[in-house]
Chain A
């Protein structure tokens, strides 16, 4: 099973600041990595798939990069609605796995 390790566990930032979230895989997942956002009491929402493709309706301030084992989700300028938990997920090997999440909180 591929293990995804996200860092940091918590990111404390102010609105307008840049957020950089990391996801590292225990073995190569090629570019088959997605990012999801989850707010309290809500279902996850797809942000990025295949490492860098934005899902439909996702604002351009969200971008993804990386390949192999190291990936990054960047939020260029945090909006109030962006404070949430973010999960990475691989679909290279079954069972697909998620990272443990990074919480982006208001500083």
Chain B
């Protein structure tokens, strides 16, 4: 069965960096786009970033563009989110999620998330 397991969360000071990982299993990871979605404590869901199946296309929400980098290693079935210059407003549970669309390279076919990890909490505080 499909499993997504995030790791790397924790408490970090403002301005510092953190790298999240998401280990995937139970499906052909290299065929599917992958996402990071976050949820601030007690709040709703916010899209963070998307990477195409082959890593050639990446998309970010405005609030993280230039600070966060999404990447993937298809040989290790792992998704990453490098978060730099962290701010208090980045505090959230970060979920990785699998897209339903295989072999897609643009936002026009992505956007339905059928499997999610359990999330990892990132707390930015001094």
Contact = CB atoms under 8 A, between A and B. Distances in A.
Interface string A16-39: 000000000000000010101010
Contacts of B107: 91, 94, 96
A43 B59 contact: no
Contacts of A98: 44-47
Interface stretch (A44-52, A67-75, A76-84): A44-52
Interface stretch (B13-21, B69-77, B83-91, B109-117): B109-117
- For chain B, which range describes its interface: under 10, 10 to 19, 20 to 34, or 35 or more residues? 20 to 34
Interface string B84-126: 0000000000010000100000010011111011110000000
Given A34-B112, A50-B112, A95-B59, 4 more contacts: A34-B111, A87-B45, A98-B45, A100-B44
Interface of A: 32, 34, 36, 38, 42-46, 49-50, 55-56, 87, 89, 91, 94-101
